[in-house]
Structure 1
């Protein structure tokens, strides 16, 4: 009887430990499922032209978009920042808040989605309330723009 009680105690402890491991793995499985859902809304793009590169990471939820954007243009200051905006059909319109030369700036950015690419729009700009924005979104040019190709997110 003296040997039975310690043996039963050990067996109960082992069963309790196994139960907590199952609970942990179940939680891990649901976290993995949630991560997959989040990853599906995440999209990554890159533009490489000569010595210029730009990287764009988007998180799209319904008609809202957020993400990060960086430009590394040859013989110009590199800038990194975040975007926040909306998706209208095949067009993304966002504000890009970035750091360059120790200064924080905000400018409007627009991309037109074509297949697995985003073509950046350019046009006449003006400053409104400290933010650079396009004068007329309907007159943007997409022909001589940076073209972002879809890539796997890292």
Structure 2
């Protein structure tokens, strides 16, 4: 009886470990292909996601090698925040920082968007507080599979 219990427990733990490893490797939604190179001339514009009581809007401008603009998050039951995005394009990604006010406190956090033919997909991952803001621990482990595609308007 103890052997069966130990075998079931071991098998369950093994399955959980395999599932955890596999879920960590999924870094992009299969429905959207990342654009390999992005042209600063075609990127500017308004990108927006509206759905399920959530709104995200990014109004992008470009100047030489820099990309900047206003970013709004109004997510369902969470606090609304508005701020400034400043960054650059590298390969098929928009990489930068978001400077914003939330609950009266100024904050900054790293942001990376995959640029797709359909729009922008924000990357999420583990962060730590350092250098005066919230920084990604490992950008190679970011996930882009949340389904909130910011479509160009």
Fold shared by both chains (TM-score > 0.5):
yes
Query: Which residue of structure 1 aligns with residue 135 of structure 2?
Result: 133
Matched, 1:104 2:106: yes
The answer for unaligned runs of 5 or more in structure 2 is 1-40
Rg larger in structure: 1
What CA distance in whole angstroms lies between the structure 2 residues aligned with 1:65 and 1:116?
Answer: 19
Larger RCO: Structure 1 or Structure 2 (Cα < 8 Å, ≥ 6 residues apart)? 2
Q: Tell me the residue number matched to 2:83.
A: 81
How many aligned positions are there?
A: 113
Match of 2:62 in 1: 60
Please state if 1:51 is matched with 2:56: no
| Deviation of the 1:41 alpha carbon | 6.3
Cα deviation for residue 116 of structure 1 reads 3.2
Residue ranges of structure 1 left out of the alignment (5+ in a row):
1-38
- Distance change in 2, residues 1:56/1:116 (3 Å): same
TM-score, with length taken from structure 2: 0.69
The alignment yields a C-alpha RMSD, in angstroms, of 1.6
Q: What TM-score results when the alignment is normalised by the length of structure 1?
A: 0.69
Q: Is the 8 A contact 1:66 1:83 kept in 2?
A: yes
Cα gap change, 1:133 to 1:116, in 2 (>3 Å): same
Whether the 8 Å CA contact 1:122–1:145 is kept in 2: the answer is: no
User: Secondary structure of the equivalent of 1:94?
Assistant: strand
How far off is 1:40 after superposition?
Answer: 6.7
User: Are residue 147 (structure 1) and residue 146 (structure 2) matched?
Assistant: no
SS in 2 for 1:126: strand
Cα distance per residue 1:59-100 (max 9 Å; x no partner): 123431111100001111100000111110210111100011
Whole-angstrom CA distance in 2 between matches of 1:41 and 1:136: 26
Q: Distance in 1 between matches of 2:133 and 2:53?
A: 28
